[in-house]
Amino acid sequence: MKRAENKVVIVTGGALGIGRESCLLLAKEGAKVAVTDVLNKEGMELTQEINKSGGVAKFWHLDVTDEKEVEKVCGEVVREFGKLDALVNNAGIGGVDKPTHELTEKEWDAVMNVNVKGVFFCTKHAIPYIQKSGSGSIVNLSSIYGLVGAGDIPHYHASKGAVRLMSKNDALIYAKDNIRVNSVHPGFIWTPLVEALIKKDPEQRKKLDSLHPLGHIGEAIDIAYGILYLVSDESKFVTGSELVIDGGYTCK
């Protein structure tokens, strides 16, 4: 039996980076994957790739900041695949890097809307369907920036700290329904989000590598394996936990 056999999973921000790698791995391990993102072309191409290689996936356009769209897509996924077992709240943005006293309300809200309100909307509308399935898993992408301060992007830190505690509290609320809620805390991972940061300063790659005791930043597959574990029944006694996958970044 495959590790996520017959599970129906929604992945937000699934077209690129960690989300993309997670969709590929979940499908390879037998899940029916609802790939959702604001990027239609990349999302459609990914589902074609999965379906061609024998997996099952369908793409939905989904902006996690739009509650009406979240509600609609959750309903459509269940109509398409018959049920919902898991949600991976992966969509996230980095935001501009400014000190707190220079940040505008608009810049603050943009990050909070995707990284925090998006997790709230998706969890809110996925939960009733997962409850009907009798058990399930919600995996929330936090960050090392949700555990320790790095002295930069204040609103991103605030958003990922919020996701960490939302996960623990939802773990308590939904334990009675056998729905597990956990957070994942990646170190720096080579994805378009980090690539964009590095383009501005090529020396940055070396600096980022050196922050991780293992000597380099991670790959999206390193996080995808953690997400697969938390979605699968292998983690059936794991809830409210913080899965840190960071090459040792937070050891110090």
Residue 182, interface with ligand NAP (CB under 6 A)? no
Letters for 66-85 (x = contact with ligand NAP by CB under 6 A, - = none) are --------------------
The answer for residues whose C-beta is within 8 angstroms of residue 209's C-beta and 6 or more apart is 215, 216, 217
Separation between Cα atoms, residue 134 and residue 234, nearest integer Å: 17
Separation between Cα atoms, residue 33 and residue 247, nearest integer Å: 28
Pick out residues in 25-44 that bind ligand NAP (CB under 6 A).
37-39
Burial of 215 (0-12, 13-18, 19+ CB in 10 A): exposed
Whole-number minimum distance, CB 65 to ligand NAP, in Å? 5
Report the SS3 class of residue 161. helix
Whole-number minimum distance, CB 224 to ligand NAP, in Å? 10
Of the candidates 145, 156, 174, 249, the residue annotated as catalytic is 156
Residue 198, interface with ligand NAP (CB under 6 A)? no
Residue 63, interface with ligand NAP (CB under 6 A)? yes
156 tagged catalytic: yes
Letters for 141-180 (x = contact with ligand NAP by CB under 6 A, - = none) are x-x-------------------------------------
Render the burial of 224-245: b for 16+ CB within 10 Å, e for the rest: bebbbbbbbeebeeebebebbb
Given the rule CB under 6 A, which of 104-112, 127-135, 187-195, 235-243 is the region that contacts ligand NAP?
Answer: 187-195
Whole-number minimum distance, CB 62 to ligand NAP, in Å? 6
The only residue of 4, 9, 18, 116 in contact with ligand NAP, by rule CB under 6 A: 18
Pick out residues in 200-239 that bind ligand NAP (CB under 6 A).
none
Whole-number minimum distance, CB 4 to ligand NAP, in Å? 19
Report whether 127 contacts 229 (CB < 8 A). Answer: no
Separation between Cα atoms, residue 56 and residue 50, nearest integer Å: 7
Joined tokens for residue 179: 């729905």
Report whether 17 contacts 193 (CB < 8 A). Answer: yes
Identify each DSSP E strand in the chain by its residue range.
8-11, 32-37, 56-61, 86-89, 136-141, 179-186, 189-190, 218-219, 242-245
Residues tagged active-site: 156
- Chain contacts with ligand NAP (rule: CB under 6 A): 12-13, 15-19, 37-39, 62-65, 90-93, 114, 118, 141, 143, 186, 188-189, 191-194
